Amino acid sequence: MNLQERDKAVNWHPYTQMKTADDAIPIVKGKGVYLFDDKGNKYIDAVSSWWVTLHGHAHPYIAQRVSEQLHTLEQVIFAGFTHEPAIQLSENLLKLLPQNQQKVFYSDNGSTAVEVALKMCIQHAYNQGKEKTKILAFKNAYHGDTFGAMSVSGRSVWTKPFGEMLFEVIFIDTPTSENIEDIKAQISAYQDEVVCFIYEPLIQGAAGMLMYNAEDLDNLMKFCRANDILMIQDEVFTGFGRTGKLFAANYLSEKPDIMCFSKGLTGGTMPMGITTCSNEIYNAFLSDDKYKTLFHGHSFTANPLACTAALASMELLLNDETQQSIQRISGQHFSFSKVLREHSKVENVRQTGTILAWEIKNDHKTSYFNEIGKKLYDEFLSRGIVMRPLGNVMYLVPPYCVSTEELNFIYKNILQVLDSF
């Protein structure tokens, strides 16, 4: 049996209707921006393998650091014990975040980072004897696939089977200068009951790379702060340079109480989630009463190998070469976006930093299940490019190591595909 046959016999793939799906492509090697399959074909990974691979595949520096750590300490229970990689990672990350972020809680993916944040907020109120349990979230939000993360995500066919099991959430529009007062009025109607507001800053990724203004988010955050509503900033996607700055927080004057991270945290090398919070949140759990403890944890909390990968990735992120690459990619995207705007088959072109998105004009409502997406996916694969359209929404989220020539190759093929469709 070949790899495809063996895979089909045993594996169940994510977001995949296994009955009708094509056989999975066996990838045997990754190097830089490229993936190589078992037949020797190579593909440019234009989506950073689900938005996680910051510095390219099999980066030698990250591999070296993880290998060294593997020979020193691979795992230790993080209840009652600690270790240098976790301490150093927390110290290094907090230096880059808004000053009010002062404590780090480790988990193992973006969904659980969100779960931790929600539990922090709800128990923060509970520990102080406050009856506040309602949560604000944006329409079309996506925060993960665990039950709490699904609850604060937009209701859709993805969540429908579990609809009666998800807790109540107040969904609001993303803010604009035109609707901000209406949003504030909607929130005010529940003011005494709302414990927190969770949001994807600047970009709603899985919703179709929907983008909105930092100034309008600042306005809404300021209102939440004035009304004692805690704020959870989900930077699972936007963190670590994707927006052109280190974090979406760098575009904002208002600061969240809690922040969530994953995806690019380890440069795509290993799973890890982080939830950071202010001392004000942390202190609400300090008590002689053991029942006020945050009872949450994971077997692999603060895994030394993942912490080491994150430390190495962060070093690479902060060096001048990477920062220059981020600005170069952002600039190339900006120039190409002007070309896309002139194309007769394209609409709603938008860009933030290294993220570029646009829509293919069609007669059907924009949808994740739009058949255009599958046709585009297959066409780009045949051209040696991995793209994963969200229905008729196309986007680029390349690794920071992508060269000018490789980006131009992607752009050229995008135009050729648009012309032929």
> Tens digit of pLDDT for each residue in 202-247?
999 999 999 999 999 999 999 999 999 999 999 999 999 999 999 9
Q: What letter does residue 346 receive in the DSSP assignment?
A: E
pLDDT at 351 over 70: yes
Give the pairing of strands 170-172 and 210-211: unpaired
Query: What is the pLDDT confidence band of residue 370, given thresholds at 50, 70 and 90?
Result: confident
Catalytic residues: 15, 142, 234, 263
CA 407/CA 338 separation, integer angstroms: 15
Mean predicted confidence (pLDDT) in 290-309: 97
Sequence length of the chain is 421
The tokens describing 351, both together, are 């860009």
Instruction: Report pLDDT digits (tens) over 155-167.
Output: 998 899 999 999 9
Instruction: Report pLDDT digits (tens) over 28-76.
Output: 999 999 999 999 999 999 999 999 999 999 999 999 999 999 999 999 9
CA 259/CA 246 separation, integer angstroms: 14
Structural contact between residues 209 and 390, judged by C-beta atoms closer than 8 angstroms: yes
Give the pairing of strands 273-277 and 355-360: unpaired
pTM over 0.75: yes
CA 329/CA 146 separation, integer angstroms: 33
Q: Tokens 């009666």 belong to which residue?
A: 164
pLDDT at position 367 is 67
**Mean pLDDT of all residues in the chain?**
96
Least confident of 21-35, 85-99, 351-365: 351-365
The tokens describing 168, both together, are 């109540």
